[in-house]
Amino acid sequence: MMNEKQVIALSGQHSQLLIKVGEAPEICYWGKPVSGDVSQFINALSRPVPYGRLDKDVPMTLSPELARGLFSSPGLEGHRDGKDWAPAFAVIDIDQCADNGLALTAEDTVAGLRLVTELNLDQHDVVKVRHTLINTKAGVYQVNRFANTLPLPERANELMTYYGRWVHEFQTVRQALPQGGYQQENRRGRTSHEHYPALVAGTTHFGEQQGEVWGFHFAWSGNHRLRVDVKADGRRFMQAEAIYLPGEIALAEGESLSTPWLYASYSADGLNGMSHHFHQHVRHSILTNEMKAKTRPIHLNTWEGIYFDHDPAYIEQMASQAAEMGVERFIIDDGWFKGRNGDKAALGDWFLDESKYPNGLAPIIEHVNKLGMEFGLWFEPEMINKDSDLYRSHPEWLLAVEGYEQPTGRNQYALDLSNHDAFEFVLARLDHFLSHYNIAYIKWDMNREIVQPGHQGKASGHQQVELYYQLVDKLRAKHPLVEIESCAAGGGRIDFEVLKRTHRFWASDNNDALERQQIQRGMSYFFPPEVMGSHIGASHCHSTRRRHSINFRGLTALFGHMGIELDPVRECDEEKQGFEKYIQLHKSLRELLHTGKTLRLPADDPAHLIHAVVADDQSQAVVMVAQLAMPTNSLSGTLRLVGLNPDANYQISLVDQPNNFFEGIVSCQPAWCYEGIHLSGEWCDSVGLAMPIMDAESAILIKLEQI
Ligand code: DGJ
């Protein structure tokens, strides 16, 4: 047992963690890097003990324990036939790892449990933490709750949290952190549109560029609970956990359970600083190796173009036109497999529909490849319709509890992945297509929520998620170069654990540029643009029935992994020229957009959203100003461009604007819009440029190049 208290420092570029390890580990500092004798921190931060409570100080440890007198939500709740329910773990081993991390082993010999805590701070200032529990005694240990806990300082008193729904993902809301704390629970069986598993705590009025913030992302694709608690003594902490269904986690002697990883980052430079840390972490540690070097090709996805109406000759025409516009990957979405003529039948029957494709898939793939494009195909592997050959021969493969009727979602049910034969069947069907055809990419969809995840009568919600990960992993092991887009009715399953095994997310089924501006902004706090699928849809948006110009649609889709989602054959020449223009623009900026630093810039007019990407070496940048609604005033103030090199000079030019920008809506625009201008980075940041006048639902693009 470690009676001697010691302080271990984990240092990043812009943040530091000081961990006091005695009997139990406590993070006593998480903020800007500090220098000096760390051993002094123990005294500097030793707390007073007030009257009216326990007679000794109780540390806020990495896994709070009732047995130590910490009256907070415990890190672990469980029992062994009603006993061993309030463990207290004592650290027996500290392993300082080469990757700026710690592995702490702690034991409770009475309860017969061991707890291993892994904690790392990477070079991009992202902390990751998880616990593993091992049952070391005879008898089954039933785990009810098992959480990750990180402390917050008392000055963290505001929150940015998320809400949303289908076609309205990643909406953010600001709120004060009240005495009662904050809690969000997701019980939808997947990451969910409603409760994206992340939040940010910060100092009063924290913003994009200012304030201290502590951001958290919980990498788990099932049910979860996030809380930020304010204790009665004012101390506060963030806690994240997978929610287990009754009885589903039972550890026999020698068995273990790990929590999902909790990712977190401190920034002294507001939300932009935090996002940069997470984006760099995603780029360097989450995304798989083979993907890092590859340029992300422009997509054409058939879904909103033809839905279930598949005719190979027509699809080949679509492909030819797509290639002419500069598309680099052509994806056939839902509707290609046996009996899939609408969304009521056929899920599970992963065989080509020969009535639609009498000559097979190969001729289309060859056509697409000859045009110089990669080919992609849609699947929804975890699902089954009752109206399918699969269900008719295996009704027992449904994820359900006998005796209860499962409600349908999009007319479908989930497959019980804990059923070995069901798991192997789906894997074999996917493997068949990837082995027999030149498929470079699959879109992996998941269109319903999980209600009663049952396997042989017992709850298996946690296992269903783990088996989904295994299914993707096994397929990837066989086909490591096939890229996967993760989709769940748009953005219903977007998290780091999914991203470790996929390459791109379909952010939303909403291609309306106005809505997308907000959705993409919300997503940008934790994800870099290259993993966010962002498509130009038809001028008449299918999900909102709004109409938008090609300028607004094109510039909105530019700041992601760009694609087109419509039927090019039916589009008029003017629209086609627009698609081609924005595809070329994206290609010319792609490297900058997909490697640079994302910044959400301040706006004088609340009707603006301003989004920028600055090159790592600050030699160039692009800025999009989106006018979401009518300008609030007749003039819109100045555009301040932060994040540039203050000592460098930049050539600033307007690269794209709506058709009526120079005439029709104004007598004249600011002088720089006509001829461009040279300005220093310092001027751009401190003084800025006069903002032009713009119509609602339009955007402009500005390019800055160092001279
Ligand atoms: C939901 C997805 O989000 C859409 O993009 C599309 O793939 C449909 N499913 C197909 O059924």
Q: Can you give the length of the chain in residues?
A: 707
Is the CB–ligand 1 distance for residue 192 below 6 Å?
no
Q: Is the confidence at residue 349, as pLDDT, over 80? A: yes
Is the CB of 380 inside a 6 Å radius of any atom of ligand 1? no
Closest by Cα among 579, 677, 559 to 623: 559
| 532 lies in some domain | no
Q: What is the pLDDT of residues 52-98, one digit of tens each?
A: 999 999 999 999 999 999 999 999 999 999 999 999 999 999 999 88
Active site residue 509: yes
What is the predicted pLDDT for the residue at 232?
A: 92
Q: Annotated binding residues for substrate, as ranges?
A: 166, 333-334, 410, 443-447, 487, 509
The answer, yes or no, to whether any atom of ligand 1 lies below 6 A from the CB of 303, is yes
pLDDT of the residue at 293: 77
Which among 251, 286, 321 is the end of a domain?
A: 286
Instruction: Tell me, letter by letter, the H, E, C secondary structure of 585-633.
Output: HHHHHHHHHHHCEEEEECCCCCCEEEEEEECCCCCEEEEEEEECCCCCC
Decide if 536 contacts 511 (C-beta within 8 A): yes
CATH code of the domain covering residue 572: 3.20.20.70
Residue 533 Cβ contacting ligand 1 at under 6 Å: no
Annotated binding-site residues read 166, 333-334, 410, 443-447, 487, 509
Does ligand 1 lie within 6 Å of residue 445's CB atom? yes
Instruction: Please work out whether the CB of residue 509 comes within 6 Å of at least one atom of ligand 1.
Output: yes
Residue 537 lies in a domain: no
Give the long-range contacts of residues 360-363, CB within 8 A, separation 24 or more. Answer: 361/336, 361/437, 362/437, 363/312, 363/316
Q: Please work out whether the CB of residue 260 comes within 6 Å of at least one atom of ligand 1.
A: no
Q: Give the residue carrying structure tokens 């919300």.
A: 522
3-state helix, strand, coil in the chain (%, to 5): 25, 30, 45
Query: CA 583, CA 562: separation in Å to the nearest integer?
Result: 8
State the first-to-last Cα distance of the chain, in angstroms, to the nearest integer: 62
Q: From the CA of 490, give the closest atom in ligand 1.
A: 3
**What pLDDT is stored for residue 286 in this prediction?**
96
Confidence of residue 40 (pLDDT cuts 50, 70, 90): confident
Classified as helix, coil or strand, 115 is strand
Same domain, yes or no, for 567 and 629?
A: no
Q: What is the mean pLDDT of residues 367-396?
A: 98
What number does the ligand 1 atom closest to the CA of 509 have?
3
20: tokens are 């006091």
Residues 297 and 280 reside in one and the same domain: no
Q: Which residue is catalytic, options 125, 349, 495, 509? A: 509
Q: What is the mean pLDDT of residues 136-142?
A: 98
Same-domain check for residues 95 and 182: yes
- Confirm whether 108 is a catalytic residue: no
Is pLDDT above 70 for 647?
Answer: yes
Domain co-membership, 327 together with 265: no
Q: Is residue 539 part of a domain?
A: no
Task: Find the angle CA(448)-CA(167)-CA(460) to the nearest 5 degrees.
Answer: 25
Segment 658-684, tens digit of pLDDT = 999 998 789 999 999 999 999 999 999
Token reading at 121: 């701070």
Q: Which DSSP helix (H) or strand (E) runs through 368?
A: helix 362-370
Residue the block writes with tokens 């889709």: 557
At residue 4, the pLDDT reads 61
Which of 286, 305, 322 terminates a domain? The answer is 286
pLDDT the model gives residue 99: 84
Residue 683 lies in a domain: yes
Q: Which two tokens stand for residue 82?
A: 């009603």
State whether 86 and 209 are in the same domain: yes
**Amino acid sitting at position 129:** V
Q: pLDDT at position 113, please? A: 98
Tell me the C-alpha distance between 488 and 221, whole Å. 11
Question: Same domain, yes or no, for 278 and 295?
Answer: no
Q: By CB neighbour count within 10 A (0-12 exposed, 13-18 middle, 19+ buried), where does 303 fall?
A: buried
- Measured distance CA(453)–CA(462) in Å, rounded: 9
Does residue 1 carry a pLDDT above 60?
no
The atom of ligand 1 lying closest to the CA of 443 is 7
Substitution site in 303, 382, 412 for ligand 1 pocket (most atoms within 8 Å of beta carbon): 303
Residue 277 belongs to domain spanning:
6-286
The tokens of 367 are what?
């056509």
Distance from CA of residue 254 to its chain's centroid? Answer: 34
Q: Say if residues 275 and 598 touch (Cβ distance below 8 Å).
A: yes
Tell whether 140 is covered by a domain.
yes
HSE-CB at 44 with a 13 A cutoff on CA atoms is 11
318 and 248 inside one domain: no
Q: How much of the chain, in percent, has pLDDT values that exceed 70?
A: 99
Given the CA of residue 410, which atom of ligand 1 is nearest to it? 11
Q: Hey, how many other C-beta atoms are within 10 angstroms of the C-beta on 534?
A: 26
Q: What is the DSSP letter of 412?
A: B
Q: Which atom of ligand 1 sits closest to the CA of residue 333?
A: 7
What one-character-per-residue DSSP string does 42-91 give?
HHHTPPP--TTS-SS-----SS--GGGT--S--SEEEEBTTBS-S---EE
Q: State the CATH number of the domain containing residue 164.
A: 2.70.98.60
Q: Any idea which of 35-44, 195-204, 570-579 has the lowest mean pLDDT?
A: 35-44
Q: In this predicted structure, what is the pLDDT of residue 467?
A: 98
528: in domain: no
At 396, is the secondary structure helix, strand, or coil?
helix
Indicate if 255 and 229 belong to the same structural domain: yes
Angle at 371 between CA 292 and CA 583, to 5 degrees: 60
The helix/strand/coil state of 355 is: coil
Q: Which two tokens stand for residue 535?
A: 């498509």
Q: Could you give the CA distance from residue 629 to residue 394 in angstroms, rounded to a whole number?
A: 53
565 forms bridges with which residues in the sheet? Answer: 537
Task: Please name the amino acid found at residue 649.
Answer: N
**282 and 293 co-located in one domain:** no
Report the CATH number at residue 606. Answer: 2.60.40.1180
Are residues 633 and 566 part of one domain? no
Note the pLDDT tens digit of each residue in 116-134.
Answer: 999 999 999 999 999 999 9
Render pLDDT for 467-496 as a digit per residue (tens, 0 to 9). Answer: 999 999 999 999 999 999 999 999 999 999
- In-domain check, residue 520: no
Ligand 1 midpoint to CA 480 (Å): 24
b (16+ CB within 10 A) / e for 255-286: eebebbbbbbbbbbbbbbbbbbbbbbbbbebb
Whether 333 lines ligand 1, by a CB cut-off of 6 Å, is yes
Statement: residue 2 has pLDDT above 60: no
Cα 83 to Cα 343: distance, rounded to the nearest angstrom = 50
Residues 6+ apart with CB under 8 A from 576: 321, 325, 568
Cα 74 versus chain centre, distance = 27
Report yes or no: 124 and 13 within 8 Å, Cβ to Cβ: yes
Could you tell me how far CA 8 lies from the centroid of its own chain?
31
Q: Are 124 and 110 in contact (CB under 8 A)?
A: no
Q: Is the pLDDT of residue 225 over 90?
A: yes
Average pLDDT of span 443-458? 97
Query: Does a structural domain hold residue 20?
Result: yes
- How many whole angstroms separate alpha carbon 641 and alpha carbon 651? 13
Q: Are residues 85 and 214 in the same domain?
A: yes
Q: Out of 167, 191, 334, 505, give the residue to mutate to test ligand 1, the one with the largest number of ligand atoms within 8 Å of its CB.
A: 334
Q: Say whether both 136 and 33 belong to one domain.
A: yes
Tell me which of 125, 445, 495, 512 is the catalytic residue.
445
What are 281's two structure tokens?
């972490």
Tally the C-alpha atoms within 13 A of residue 107's C-alpha that lie toward its C-beta.
10
Q: What is the pLDDT of residues 524-560, one digit of tens each?
A: 999 999 999 999 999 999 999 999 999 999 999 999 9
Determine phi and psi for 250, rounding to 5 degrees. Answer: -130, 115
- Mean of the per-residue pLDDT values for the chain? 96
pLDDT bin (cut points 50, 70, 90) of residue 217 is very high
Q: What is the mean pLDDT of residues 639-651?
A: 97
Domain count, the chain: 3
Last residue of a domain, one of 232, 261, 286: 286
Question: How would you label 1-31 residue by residue, b for 16+ Cβ within 10 Å and e otherwise?
Answer: ebeeeebbebbbebbbbbbbbbbbbbbbbbb
For ligand 1, atom 2, which residue shows the shortest CA distance?
A: 489
Q: Is residue 3 pLDDT above 80, yes or no?
A: no
